[in-house]
Amino acid sequence: MKIKDNFWIGLLVGAACFGLFFLLLSLIPWGEPYRRAPYMLAFIPGVILFRMLLVKWNCDRMGRGILLVTVVGMLLVFFLFK
């Protein structure tokens, strides 16, 4: 199966990956000191998918889209949740 290499699809896949894993992690009762944990752990599948797209499948544009969602999301979490 050929994967279409498109930046916009990468953005959508990165956001969907983050959203699904965040929903799963938000079901776990986290304590007050760990209130950022579900956000940060939800970015891990995006990083793994980013690496697979760049190294294994040679989809550079799609990997860049996932990387953009991951980096911007992490920066938002660090700056909004002090």
Residue 1 has pLDDT above 80, yes or no: no
CA dihedral 75, 77, 80, 82 (to 10 degrees): -110
Residue 81 has pLDDT above 90, yes or no: no
Per domain, the residue ranges of the chain are 7-80
Question: What's the whole-number mean pLDDT along residues 67-71?
Answer: 92
Note if the pTM is more than 0.85: no
| pLDDT tens sequence across 2-21 | 778 889 999 999 999 999 99
H-type helices in the chain, by residue range? 7-25, 37-41, 44-51, 60-80
**CB neighbour class for 53 (10 Å; exposed up to 12, middle 13-18, buried from 19):** buried
CA–CA distance from 49 to each of 12, 19, 25 (Å)? 13, 14, 18
- 8 A C-beta contact, residue 33 and residue 20: no
pLDDT of residue 69: 92
Question: What's the whole-number mean pLDDT along residues 28-45?
Answer: 85
